[in-house]
Amino acid sequence: MITLHHAPQSRSFRILWFLHEAGLEHELRYHSFSGKALRDPAFLAISPAGRVPVVEVDGVTLFESAAILEYLVEARAPGLGRAPGHEERGKFLEWLHYGETIAQHLAQLTFHHIVLRPADRSPVVQRLEALRLRRTLEGIETALAAQDCLLADGFSAADIMAGSSAELARRFVPLDGLDRVSAWLKRLTARPGYRAALSADGQAELYLQDFYGLPHA
């Protein structure tokens, strides 16, 4: 049994989506961003930064999304990865970790739009991070010029990792002019694995608006 420590609308959605795509039996342990659960010593013992996801599998406890996905691909779902020696192995790893590049800008925007009090928010940071986030999506737009997925051989965990971050990016940057990204996200979010994960995600706590626009100059 795989146990996933999960919070709705968080990075752990990547793992939840992967588990459904791979058809892997799992148990969900829900955590909330409110209160002190993620700062409890028992949770910090398995997640030093007090963050989700955390996965318990094969007698091992793992944190960090990309590490979890690499492990689960190799141990349980090789069809969603590219094995060492495969010609797309390097690109697979590159795009897998690109999802976290997108997420670091999402984290800044989430902090300044949602977490901080309005008086403490920085319009400069909001504009800068929105620009940086847009540029990460432009990189995906270029990569999709000749293919439907991030890898030429088709759908993989790299699409899950980067796609989950890109789908959240919609809340902060318009996708105008990013037609290939928009079509890619439409294909990804229509997948049965994604829909099943979304149904299991839990009650929204973070993103209560569809879009968080930039402050007026």
List of domains in the chain = 2-80 (3.40.30.10), 89-191 (1.20.1050.10)
Taking residues 136-149, what's their average pLDDT?
A: 98
pLDDT in tens, 94-129: 999 999 999 999 999 999 999 999 999 999 999 999
- Tell me the pLDDT of the chain averaged across its residues: 96
pLDDT of 96: 98
Chain segment 43-54, per-residue pLDDT in tens: 999 999 999 999
- Residue with the two structure tokens 């997420």: 103
Residue 85, Cβ density class (10 Å: 0-12 exposed, 13-18 middle, ≥19 buried): exposed
CA distance 176 to 79: 33
Residue 86 dihedral angles phi and psi, to the nearest 5°: -70, 145
pLDDT of 217 higher than 80: no
Predicted pLDDT at 34: 85
Q: pLDDT-based confidence at 141, cuts 50/70/90? A: very high
pLDDT tens profile 26-66: 999 999 988 788 999 999 999 999 999 999 999 999 999 99
Q: How far is CA 83 from CA 7, 45, 79, 154, 175, in A?
A: 30, 32, 9, 14, 33
